[in-house]
Chains A and B, each alone.
Chain A
Amino acid sequence: MPHSPSYEVRKKLETLRNRFQDKTIREIDCLVASIFNASRNAEAVGELIAASQLLHRLAGSAGTMGFPRLGEQARKLEIALQPLADKVVLGADREQIRRQLTHMLAAGLESQIVGLGDLLGSAEPVSTGWHQPRAFETCAQPVLLIQEPDQELAQLISQGLSLYGYRLRSLGPQEDWPESMEDVELVMVRDTLLQDENAGWSERLHSVPAICFSEAHDFTTRYRLARFGVDACIDEPQDIPALADRVEQLLAEGLATLTGRVMIIDDDPELLEHYRLVLTSGGLEVRALDDPSRLLAELAEFRPDILFMDVQMGHYQGPVLARMLRFQAEWVSLPIIFFSSEEDRDLQLDVLARGGDDFVTKPVSDEFLLRTARIRCYRARQLGKLVSLDSLTGLLKHGLAKTELNREHARCIRSGHDSVVAMLDLDHFKRINDTYGHATGDTVIKALSNLLRHRLRNTDIIGRYGGEEFVVVLPECSLDKAVEVLEALSQDFARLVFNAGNEEFSVTFSAGVAALNAFASGEKAIEAADQALYQRKRAGRNGVTVAIEEPPCR
């Protein structure tokens, strides 16, 4: 199997990291020796200069090489030792420097210096430092790892999940987990295989989302699995739609905590650059802006989760800008946080009343800024989801789906590309609800939405239009291609097996499609797709019908 380029890059990085590790072990030994030497012998305090330089170098490089904790510790020690090294350079009394060093070592520095080497030894296979920005994931083709002793079941799960568009890699029960787990997005493993805690899996289980197949419901077993870092327990993995739903949830949770889009507006360019650096290095996407008059244009383009703003920027006032933003419905819910050096509570309240959400008081520490931004982004995304996404399926709600449809209609008319809208409806859904109950009906709806989300492109728009009705917009896609894709989807969906009590059943859906740009409005196109859907229902369901284009209206 050919590896993707990103895999190659990751491999090379791994090699480099090992080399760095070997070299740095020796360097740290020398460092420890020379610091102790300096503490015993005033003539040797000159060695502190080189020691401090090495610490500075490690502070800068260890994180990049995959040892963030070593880097942080080196930075602390550098800050502690730098004043002494400076004194050496300035030619201060050597004996006095030596005494000061001895004192510092006794006060706790000694154990920290000796402990440096340990931070290098405890390299985690996938440290967060390497993992954080997931810019890569789009081309890395992540896989799900499955280890299930029952080969038949493993096969069934692999096939079932691959219908949802996941790629699976199956491991035999005796097989060791792979050395590098960087392309593994999620692990599924049978509980009986998690016995020997000294085996390679135990530390790796903490670094990826994990589902455990386990029929044991007793406290001891479950507690043990939770301690291993298992995220979910499933006793019937053969229920593919339920399993796929859990997989989908776990993957979505992981992504949500890692990303966030922040816009900062401040008229002080240096401060702005500093904020940008702090937030970017914390893994957030940042757009920094020093000219308030470009705010609206930049907002529309960048679409941040939250906005940081100074209270006073030249002749522009932050609170007035906030009020101005609230004129537009789309920015009413955007969280705005002000930087303010005002200690005056009344003024702050006044500002909040005029459209702000919170304050951070200047000067703001880097850590505080980053944490505030992260928490705010996370909350904003959670709330945004609640407002705009359907709670059962996680797809767009009716209203928003329609807005997006109209936006794409305008876009394809303007640029002249082909786009397609499709209406989907589950066949005989009422019968499913009546026969097996609403919970089972919900499972079927979730299964179709997961399938759509997985098999369609990220740029496609998928909404839950009504009870069992879905709308799909495929931008830059020909009608033929859309029909091909939807037909494949309908065949795969029909192959999914649902469980209700002791019964197994499968479900089909019907779809009507229309070329967006052949209609005068998004509204008209959706009506046409709906008509086509209706025709498909009358013609026997389970399949795709293309709408008749409306006569050119000019």
Chain B
Amino acid sequence: MPDTVLERILMIEDEPDIRTVAALALEDIGGFDLTTCESGTQALEQIDECRPQLILLDVMMPGMDGPATLKAIRDLPGYTETPAVFMTAKVQSDEIESYLAQGAAGVIPKPFDPLTLAERIRGIWNQDCTIG
């Protein structure tokens, strides 16, 4: 069992619909404290305001994509170990492999089910805490 309870999540996703559904899934259903950003740039500006315990990123975004955003976040002080979860519409074995190699704690395939998203995030968090 992890020592700390997951409360604050930062989500970076360019698509407004998915942001709204995820907010519903994570705030209303999951009871998390969620901050959403529409781009990597915005995330870098806001990250210190929400001090996330977990970061959820879309892989494919215009401008800075998911992996690039994560890399930039990792360069900031205080976020080198923060678990990151990628969301992607492509689930190929080698793709997942590369995200995990980049230090992602998990990968959530799109489309995801809004009713179970919070549960899955919590699962990844617990797993990450037991390993880490």
Task: Answer whether residue B44 sits at the interface, using C-beta atoms and an 8 A cutoff.
Answer: no
Judged by a CB distance under 8 angstroms, whether B48 is at the interface is: no
B60→A64 contact, CB < 8 A:
no
Known A-B contacts A60-B88, A274-B96, A277-B96; the reply to A16 vs B17 at CB < 8 A is: yes
A residues contacting B by CB (< 8 A) are: 5-6, 8-9, 12-13, 16, 19-20, 23, 56-57, 59-65, 68, 71, 75, 129-130, 132-133, 135-136, 269-271, 273-274, 277-278, 280-281
Distance (whole angstroms) from the CB of A310 to the closest CB of chain B:
15
The reply to whether A133 and B113 form a contact with Cβ atoms under 8 Å apart is: yes
Complex alpha-carbon distance, A9 and B31, angstroms: 12
Starting from the known contacts A59-B110, A135-B119, 6 additional A-B residue pairs (CB-CB under 8 Å) come to A8-B28, A9-B24, A60-B89, A61-B111, A271-B93, A274-B91
Q: Taking the complex as formed, is B71 at the interface, i.e. its CB lies under 8 A from any CB of chain A?
A: no
Pairs across A and B, CB under 8 Å, 29 listed: A9-B24, A12-B28, A13-B21, A16-B21, A19-B17, A56-B89, A57-B89, A59-B110, A59-B111, A60-B87, A60-B88, A60-B89, A61-B89, A62-B111, A63-B112, A65-B17, A71-B111, A129-B111, A130-B113, A132-B113, A135-B116, A136-B115, A270-B97, A270-B100, A271-B93, A274-B93, A277-B96, A280-B120, A281-B109
Instruction: Give bound CA distance, A71 to B113, whole Å.
Output: 13
Contact across chains for A61 and B15 when beta carbons are under 8 A apart: yes
**How distant is B59 from chain A, measured CB to nearest CB, in Å?**
9
Asked if B18 is at the interface (CB within 8 A of a chain A CB), the reply is yes
B129 at the interface (CB under 8 A from A): no
Chain B interface residue count, CB cutoff 8 Å, equals 30
Give Cα A59 to B91, complex, Å.
Answer: 11
CB < 8 Å neighbour of B91 from A13, A64, A277: A277
Tell yes or no: B29 within 8 A of A by CB. Answer: yes
Chain A nearest CB: distance from B100 CB in Å? 6
A62 to chain B, nearest CB (A): 7
Question: For window 1-38 of chain B, which residues contact chain A by CB distance below 8 Å?
Answer: 15, 17-18, 20-21, 24, 28-29
| Neighbouring B residues of A270 by C-beta, 8 Å | 93, 96-97, 100
CB <8 Å contact, A64 and B28: no
Chain A residues with CB under 8 A of B106? 273
With a cutoff of 8 Å between Cβ atoms, the chain A residues found around residue B60 in the complex are 56
Q: Chain A nearest CB: distance from B110 CB in Å?
A: 3
Q: Flag if B96 contacts A273 (CB, 8 Å).
A: yes
Bound: A71/B109 CA distance, A:
13
Interface string of B90-126 (1 = CB under 8 A from A): 1101001100100000110111111110011000000
Binding site for A on B (CB under 8 A): 15, 17-18, 20-21, 24, 28-29, 60, 87-91, 93, 96-97, 100, 106-107, 109-116, 119-120
Q: Do B24 and A61 have beta carbons less than 8 Å apart? A: no
The 5 A-B residue pairs whose C-beta atoms are closest, nearest first, are A63-B111, A60-B89, A60-B110, A64-B111, A270-B97
Report the nearest B residue to A283, measured CB to CB. Answer: B113
Please tell me if the beta carbons of B100 and A273 are within 8 angstroms of each other in the complex.
yes
A64 engages B119 (CB within 8 Å): no
Q: Cα distance A410–B28 when bound, in Å? A: 38
Roughly how many angstroms separate A149 CA and B67 CA in the complex, as a whole number?
61
Q: How far is the CA of A30 from the CA of B76 in the complex (A)?
A: 41
Q: Are B93 and A63 in contact (CB under 8 A)?
A: no
**In angstroms, how far is the closest chain A Cβ from the Cβ of B80?**
21
**A8 / chain B contacts, CB cutoff of 8 Å:** 28
Q: CB-CB < 8 A to B28: which residues of A?
A: 5, 8-9, 12
- Contact status B18-A64, CB under 8 Å: yes
User: In the assembled complex, which residues on chain B have CB atoms less than 8 Å from the CB atom of A130?
Assistant: 113, 115
The chain A residue sitting closest to B24, CB to CB, is: A12
Tell me if A57 and B15 are in contact (CB < 8 A): yes
Contacts A8-B28, A64-B112, A135-B119; A59 near B21 (Cβ below 8 A):
no
List chain A residues, Cβ under 8 A from B91.
Answer: 274, 277-278, 281
Is A61 within 8 A of B115, CB to CB? no
B24 touches A20 (CB 8 A): no
Contacts A8-B28, A9-B28, A274-B96 hold; do A59 and B89 have CB atoms under 8 A apart? yes
- What residues of chain B lie closer than 8 Å to A136, measured between beta carbons? 115
Chain B residues near A6: list those with CB within 8 A: 29
> Chain B residues with Cβ under 8 A from A9's Cβ?
24, 28-29, 115
Contacts of B97 in A (CB 8 A): 270
Distance of A84 from chain B, by nearest CB (Å): 17
Contact (Cβ within 8 A) A64 B113: yes
**Residue in B closest to A24 when the chains form the complex, CB atoms:** B17
Q: Is B110 within 8 A of A135, CB to CB?
A: no
Give the residue name and chain of the B residue nearest to A135 (CB): B116
